[in-house]
Amino acid sequence: MFFCQLLLSISLPVFAASPVANQTSSTTVFNEPPDNLFNQDIVRIDKVIRVSDTERALRNQRREAILEKIDYILSIPENELDIWKVALTMAHDAYPDLDMKSLTEEFESIVSRAKDMTPADASPDLRIRTLNTLLYRRLGIAYDKTDFQGEKLVNRYAHGVVQTKKGTCANMAVFYIAVAQRLGYPVQAVAAPQHLFARYVDPKLEKQNIDPASQGAWNSDDDYIYDMEIPLKGIQNGVYMRNMTRRELAAEIIADHGAYYYAQVVKDYQTAGAILRRALAVSPKSAEFWRLLGAVHIDWAREDYDRDLRNAKREIGHDLIAKAKEMGVGKPLAKDYWKHPLHKRKQLTPVSPIPPWDTKLTLKLQ
């Protein structure tokens, strides 16, 4: 889950920076180091190359800018959060030259087309079928089979689905939920180990789960639990399989940006850690955030020449990972999980066949 100058270049409403104080979670049991504790020259042990003062200053400047935006986003009330804007904000940090206006116009045209295709009195099931038909049949959105691990940067952000008509579970669920939100549908995100799917929350609808990474297919809760081997403790502690709030989904998008872009692409572990701590302040039940934060500290430790600092970061990292395990974090999925479905996986039942009325509606749009 993704504006360097606050999108001042476009006329659409955007998330401007706001001097919101950093939030901390009362449930956090670890005494985390402040963001600036290890603000020093980074030393790579193999070649002992120090980061220059200029590069360090640029990192600090960029860190302050993205954290200010994140603090503002996480201060927005639940019912005012726009998931598309959150995702686009994070994406613009990774892609400063992103054409925000054009992408938003294309996104909104998809929403408009979905509205035109959906009968006013459509049931929840018909709404899902119509949206799935538009996204996966008409627009041809599909899983990027060249990137099952979600290693392409574009496949981490919702705008990538608009740009390429492809994606992975990292961005397809966020995109789907962003569209559903604009349509006014009660669709919420649900977390499974290293996976997000959507749920249309309506007691009258029998098949509520929607998997955007599988052409909008339906899969029961039991299927997810059995197939992904989700720990019972993780379900009981609210780590997995519950409906997430918009703010928690926003935290998911923000955490992914920190853990993937800053930790793995840029390798700025201080910024990655600061972003993950903010995400955890909003979503402390996300055990995978704790595990990611632990991994960030361990990777960060490898860049310190000072043994005491190195050991301190490692210790913090292992404690954070232990906390994640205690909460019931799921084991990492096999690398070929999405490429070769497990033998025990049940066949997903799609909810998006081309319905008989689709031809008629398509003619209406021409």
**pLDDT, tens digit, 9 for 90 and up, residues 339-351:** 555 433 443 333 4
CA distance 109 to 117: 12
How many domains are there within the chain? 1
CA distance 18 to 23: 13
Examine residue 31 and state whether it is found in any structural domain, yes or no: no
Which carries the bigger pLDDT value, residue 32 or residue 77? 77
pLDDT at 36 over 70: no
Examine residue 46 and state whether it is found in any structural domain, yes or no: no
Q: What is the mean predicted confidence (pLDDT) over 224-233?
A: 89
Examine residue 41 and state whether it is found in any structural domain, yes or no: no
Examine residue 280 and state whether it is found in any structural domain, yes or no: yes
DSSP state of 334: P
Q: What is the mean predicted confidence (pLDDT) over 206-221?
A: 93
Q: How far apart, in Å, are the Cα atoms of 99 and each of 7, 81, 102, 228, 354?
A: 10, 22, 6, 37, 33
CA distance 101 to 108: 11
Considering only 58-62, 160-164, 291-295, which range has the smallest mean pLDDT?
58-62
Please, are residues 184 and 211 in contact by the beta-carbon 8 Å criterion? no
Q: Lay out the sheet containing 195-200: strands in order across.
A: 187-192, 195-200, 209-210
Q: Indicate the angle between helix axes 100-117 and 169-182, nearest 10 degrees.
A: 60
Distance of CA 323 to the CA centre of its chain: 21
Amino acid at position 345, single letter: R
Examine residue 28 and state whether it is found in any structural domain, yes or no: no
CA distance 93 to 346: 39
Distance of CA 53 to the CA centre of its chain: 33
**pLDDT, tens digit, 9 for 90 and up, residues 42-84:** 444 443 345 567 777 888 899 999 999 999 999 999 999 999 9
263 lies in which domain range? 53-365
Examine residue 23 and state whether it is found in any structural domain, yes or no: no
Parallel, antiparallel, or unpaired for β 195-200 and 187-192? antiparallel
User: What pLDDT is recorded for position 50?
Assistant: 54
User: What pLDDT is recorded for position 359?
Assistant: 39
Examine residue 84 and state whether it is found in any structural domain, yes or no: yes
Q: How far apart, in Å, are the Cα atoms of 285 and each of 225, 258, 306, 329?
A: 18, 18, 33, 10
Examine residue 197 and state whether it is found in any structural domain, yes or no: yes
Encoded tokens for 162: 């608009």
**pLDDT, tens digit, 9 for 90 and up, residues 348-366:** 333 434 333 333 333 333 3
Percentage of the residues of the chain whose pLDDT score is greater than 70: 77
CA distance 154 to 171: 9
